[in-house]
């Protein structure tokens, strides 16, 4: 269930039965656990779940994608300066 003005970023996955309240923004490449109640903004690239929804850890599955996105947006950053491990 989504209530009101909600922003959900590209590549974000939201579990079944999750409730998202009004005026909340969920970043790109996040994983929101099933049945969560999202009451606050969630930054890019994290795994979050619970009632209320809390950030548990970084989403390693999408970490490389976020770094590549950063390179594409900035254009002036050298790939060799980013650690992909």
pLDDT value of position 84: 46
Q: Which residues of the chain have pLDDT under 70?
A: 63, 65-66, 70, 75-85
pLDDT at 78: 53
Closest CA to 67 of 28, 13, 15: 28
The per-residue pLDDT for 59 is: 84
- Whole-structure pTM value: 0.72
Give residue 1's pLDDT: 74
């Amino acid at each position: 269930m989504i209530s009101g003005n909600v922003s959900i970023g590209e590549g974000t996955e939201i579990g079944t039965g999750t409730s998202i309240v009004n005026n909340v923004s969920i970043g790109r490449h996040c994983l929101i656990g099933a049945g969560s109640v999202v009451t606050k903004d969630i930054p890019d690239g994290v795994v979050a779940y619970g009632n209320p929804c809390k950030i548990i850890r970084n989403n390693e599955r999408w970490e490389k994608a976020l770094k590549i996105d950063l390179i594409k947006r900035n254009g002036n950053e050298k790939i060799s300066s980013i650690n992909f491990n």
